[in-house]
C-alpha cells in the first residue's frame, strides 16, 4: 500500500486544517474503512466548534489578502496545484479507489477530472468577464464587474470524494475566495491527501494559511457551515434530504447555496438506436461505479419494437460483468461504500418486488473469498412500471429499472416523470427524435445527451440539474459566476447630473 505513504496518510491524523497547520481535532475520531476488503485504513480526527471558529477566523483573515492578489496570479497557483496532482495522480487515484471502492481506472479518472478543472480554472483566471452597457445618459459609462464572495463552504459526498471538491475549490480560488471543505465522513482520507497537496503549493507561493481549510466532521459540521452568516456561499453535493436541510438553513440567513443532489437518470433507447452503442452506454452507466454516481443510469426506457432484443442483450452483458476488487483492473464492478448501502440496496429490491417489479437479472450480495467486506453486490435489472414509488426514488446502488414505450412523446413523459432532474440521454440515429428530446418540450434535466450515456460528463460543461437535484451548476461554462458577486457601476464623467428615466429635480 505504497499509495498511503505517498499521499501522506498515517494511522491516525488530524482532519482539521487551515493549510499547512493541522489542529488537534478534538471532536472525536472518524474511522475510515475500505469497502474493498473491510479493513480499517486509518482514523481522522474531527473538529470541535472551537476549532471551527479557529478555521473561520484564519479563513477570514486570509480572504483579505487573497482577494487582492490579481486573478491571473491566483490562476498561476492553481496551475501549480494541477502540476502537483499530475505528479501524485497514481497514488491519489489508488487511495480514492481503495477508500471509496471505485475501479482503479475510475479513481485515476477522478484525479484526471481534478487536473482538467485546474487547467480550466487557469484559463478562467484571465476571463472573469463582466459586460459593459451603454448608458442612457450623456457622458456616462456603465459596466459590471465581478468580485469574490469571501468564504465558500464545500460539502462533498463519498462517491466523488476529490473531484467535486476540486470543481468547487479551483473555481472559487481563481475567483478570489477562500474555502472550507467538509468532506464525506465515509472518505476523509482522500480529502486529507488533497489538502496536503494544495497546502504545500499555497505555502510555496507565500499564500497565507486559511485559503484552503479542511473541516472533518459529521452532520453538525455541515450545519455549522450552513448556518454561519460569515459564509456567503455553501456548495453541497449529496442526498436530497441533506440538500434540503442545507438549503433551508442557508436561505434563512440570506446566504446562497449551490446544490448538486440526487439524480434518477434515464436513457431512452429508440427503435432507431445503434443497439451496440446503446448497450455500452447503458451498462457502464448503470453498473459502473457500482451504481454510485449521481449520474448513474437508473431507468431504461426502451421502444417496444426493440424491447425484447435489447433486454436480451442486456441480460447477456450483465452475465459478463466481473465483480470484485476494484484495484484489480480486470474487474468491472467494485463494492458499495458500506454495509448500510448494501442494506438499502436489498430494501430497494424487496420494495421493487412488492410493488410488482419482475427481476430479469437477479440481485444479491456476493459471498466467499474476496468479498469479506460484505459490500459487494450484483448489478441487477427489473422490469417495472414507471409510476412505482421505488422507480421514482434514487437508490445509490446498481439497480436498473426497465420499461417499454410506444411513442417518443410517451418516452419523454416517462423520462421527465420523476422528482429529480440531473442527467438524461437518448440513443437514436433519427434526427427528429434527437432534436425533439433536446427541445423545449424534451428532457427537463440539466444534462441531456444524444448517443452517450447519462454518466461521465466532461468538466467543460456546467454540471448540475433541475427539480430535486437542486438547480446548482458547477464546473465548466460560466458556473464560476456562482462564486462571485456582480456589481453594476455607473460613472458620470460630465459636469451635469442628469437623472435616469428623464426625471427633472431642479433645486
Ligand atoms: C457525481 O456523481 O456527483 O458525470 C459526479 C459524471 C462524473 C461526475 C459525477 N464526471 O459521472
CA–CA dist 392, 410 (Å, integer): 16
**Is any ligand 1 atom within 6 A of the Cβ of residue 164?**
yes
Q: Specify the residue with its C-alpha closest to ligand 1, atom 6.
A: 456
Q: Are 221 and 203 in contact (CB under 8 A)?
A: no
CA–CA dist 473, 437 (Å, integer): 21
CA–CA dist 156, 435 (Å, integer): 34
Nearest-atom number in ligand 1 for the CA of 423 is 4
Overall residue count recorded for the chain in this entry: 507
* Mean pLDDT confidence for 173-180: 98
Residue 2 pLDDT? 87
Residue 449 pLDDT? 98
Residue whose C-alpha is closest to residue 464's, from 456, 455, 454, 474? 474
The percentage of residues in the chain with a pLDDT greater than 70, rounded to a whole number, is 100
Ligand 1 center from residue 295 Cα (angstroms): 6
| Per-residue confidence band for 104, with pLDDT thresholds at 50, 70 and 90 | very high
User: Residue 346: which region, alpha, beta or left (left: phi > 0; alpha: psi -120 to 50)?
Assistant: alpha
Q: Are 426 and 434 in contact (CB under 8 A)?
A: yes
**Is any ligand 1 atom within 6 A of the Cβ of residue 165?**
no
* Mean pLDDT confidence for 468-487: 98
User: Cell 478534538 maps to which residue?
Assistant: 26
**Is any ligand 1 atom within 6 A of the Cβ of residue 415?**
no
Strand partners for 359: 382
| Per-residue confidence band for 98, with pLDDT thresholds at 50, 70 and 90 | very high
Nearest-atom number in ligand 1 for the CA of 260 is 3
H or E segment to which residue 64 belongs? helix 49-66
Residue 263 has pLDDT above 90, yes or no: yes
Domains of the chain, start order: 2-261+470-487 (3.40.605.10), 265-450 (3.40.309.10)
Does the model's pTM come out above 0.90? Answer: yes
DSSP class of 171: H
Q: Probe ligand 1: pick from 103, 287, 293, 459, max atoms within 8 Å of CB?
A: 293
| Per-residue confidence band for 205, with pLDDT thresholds at 50, 70 and 90 | very high
Residue 506 pLDDT? 86
DSSP class of 84: H
CA–CA dist 379, 360 (Å, integer): 11
Whether 209 is catalytic is no
Ligand 1 center from residue 293 Cα (angstroms): 6
Complex confidence, ipTM: 0.97
Between helix 431-438 and helix 408-416 the angle, nearest 10°, is: 30
Strand partners for 447: 423
* Mean pLDDT confidence for 6-32: 95
Alpha helices by DSSP H, listed for 231-338, are 240-252, 275-287, 304-320
Instruction: Count Cβ atoms within 10 A of the Cβ of residue 458 and give its class: 0-12 exposed, 13-18 middle, 19 or more buried.
Output: exposed
- Parallel, antiparallel or unpaired: strands 256-260 and 380-383: unpaired
- DSSP strands (E only) in 81-232: 132-133, 140-148, 151-155, 178-182, 212-215
- Which entry of 260, 394, 433, 468 is annotated as an active-site residue? 260
**Is any ligand 1 atom within 6 A of the Cβ of residue 159?**
yes
| Per-residue confidence band for 49, with pLDDT thresholds at 50, 70 and 90 | very high
| Neighbouring C-beta atoms of residue 79, cutoff 10 Å | 19
Between helix 188-204 and helix 71-87 the angle, nearest 10°, is: 130
Indicate the SS3 state at residue 476.
Answer: coil
CA–CA dist 341, 33 (Å, integer): 14
Ligand 1 center from residue 456 Cα (angstroms): 6
**Is any ligand 1 atom within 6 A of the Cβ of residue 457?**
yes
**Is any ligand 1 atom within 6 A of the Cβ of residue 455?**
yes
| Neighbouring C-beta atoms of residue 15, cutoff 10 Å | 29
Amino acid at each position: 500500500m505504497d499509495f498511503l505513504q505517498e499521499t501522506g496518510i498515517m494511522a491516525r491524523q488530524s482532519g482539521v486544517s487551515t493549510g499547512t497547520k493541522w489542529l488537534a481535532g478534538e471532536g472525536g475520531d472518524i474511522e475510515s474503512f475500505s469497502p474493498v476488503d473491510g479493513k480499517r485504513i486509518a482514523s481522522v480526527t474531527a473538529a470541535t466548534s472551537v476549532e471551527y471558529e479557529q478555521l473561520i477566523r484564519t479563513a477570514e483573515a486570509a480572504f483579505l489578502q487573497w482577494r487582492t492578489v490579481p486573478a491571473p496570479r491566483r490562476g498561476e497557483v492553481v496551475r501549480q496545484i494541477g502540476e502537483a496532482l499530475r505528479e501524485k495522480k497514481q497514488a491519489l487515484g489508488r487511495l480514492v479507489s481503495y477508500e471509496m471502492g471505485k475501479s482503479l481506472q475510475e479513481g485515476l479518472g477522478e484525479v484526471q477530472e481534478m487536473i482538467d478543472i485546474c487547467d480550466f480554472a487557469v484559463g478562467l483566471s484571465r476571463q472573469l468577464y463582466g459586460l459593459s452597457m451603454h448608458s442612457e445618459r450623456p457622458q456616462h459609462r456603465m459596466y459590471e464587474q465581478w468580485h469574490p464572495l469571501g468564504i465558500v463552504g464545500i460539502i462533498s459526498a463519498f462517491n466523488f470524494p476529490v473531484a467535486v471538491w476540486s470543481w468547487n475549490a479551483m473555481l472559487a480560488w481563481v475567483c478570489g475566495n477562500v474555502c472550507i471543505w467538509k468532506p464525506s465522513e465515509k472518505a476523509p482520507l482522500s480529502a486529507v491527501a488533497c489538502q496536503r497537496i494544495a497546502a504545500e503549493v499555497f505555502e510555496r507561493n507565500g499564500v497565507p494559511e486559511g485559503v484552503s481549510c479542511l473541516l472533518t466532521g459529521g452532520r453538525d459540521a455541515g450545519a455549522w457551515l450552513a448556518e454561519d452568516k460569515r459564509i456567503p456561499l455553501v456548495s453541497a453535493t449529496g442526498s436530497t434530504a441533506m440538500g434540503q436541510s442545507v438549503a433551508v438553513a442557508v436561505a434563512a440567513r440570506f446566504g446562497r447555496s449551490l446544490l448538486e443532489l440526487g439524480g434518477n437518470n434515464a436513457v431512452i433507447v429508440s427503435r432507431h438506436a445503434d443497439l451496440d452503442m446503446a448497450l455500452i452506454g447503458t451498462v457502464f452507466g448503470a453498473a459502473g461505479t457500482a451504481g454510485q454516481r449521481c449520474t448513474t443510469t437508473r431507468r431504461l426506457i426502451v421502444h417496444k419494437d426493440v424491447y425484447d432484443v435489447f433486454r436480451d442483450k442486456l441480460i447477456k452483458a450483465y452475465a459478463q460483468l466481473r465483480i470484485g476488487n476494484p484495484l484489480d483492473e480486470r474487474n468491472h464492478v467494485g463494492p458499495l461504500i458500506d454495509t448500510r448501502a448494501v442494506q438499502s440496496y436489498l430494501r430497494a429490491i424487496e420494495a421493487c418486488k412488492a410493488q410488482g417489479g419482475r427481476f430479469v437479472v437477479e440481485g444479491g450480495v456476493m459471498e466467499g473469498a474476496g468479498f469479506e467486506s460484505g459490500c459487494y453486490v450484483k448489478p441487477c435489472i427489473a422490469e417495472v412500471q414507471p409510476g412505482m414509488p421505488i422507480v421514482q426514488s434514487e437508490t445509490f446502488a446498481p439497480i436498473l429499472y426497465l420499461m417499454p414505450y410506444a411513442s417518443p412523446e410517451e418516452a419523454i413523459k416517462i423520462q421527465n416523470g420523476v422528482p429529480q432532474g440531473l442527467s438524461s440521454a437518448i440513443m437514436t440515429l433519427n434526427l427528429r427524435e434527437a432534436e425533439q428530446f433536446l427541445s423545449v418540450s424534451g428532457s427537463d434535466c440539466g444534462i441531456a445527451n444524444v448517443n452517450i450515456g447519462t454518466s461521465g460528463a466532461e468538466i467543460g460543461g456546467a454540471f448540475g440539474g433541475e427539480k430535486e437535484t437542486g438547480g446548482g451548476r458547477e464546473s465548466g461554462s460560466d458556473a464560476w459566476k456562482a462564486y462571485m458577486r456582480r456589481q453594476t457601476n455607473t460613472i458620470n464623467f460630465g459636469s451635469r447630473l442628469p437623472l435616469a428615466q428623464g426625471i427633472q429635480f431642479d433645486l
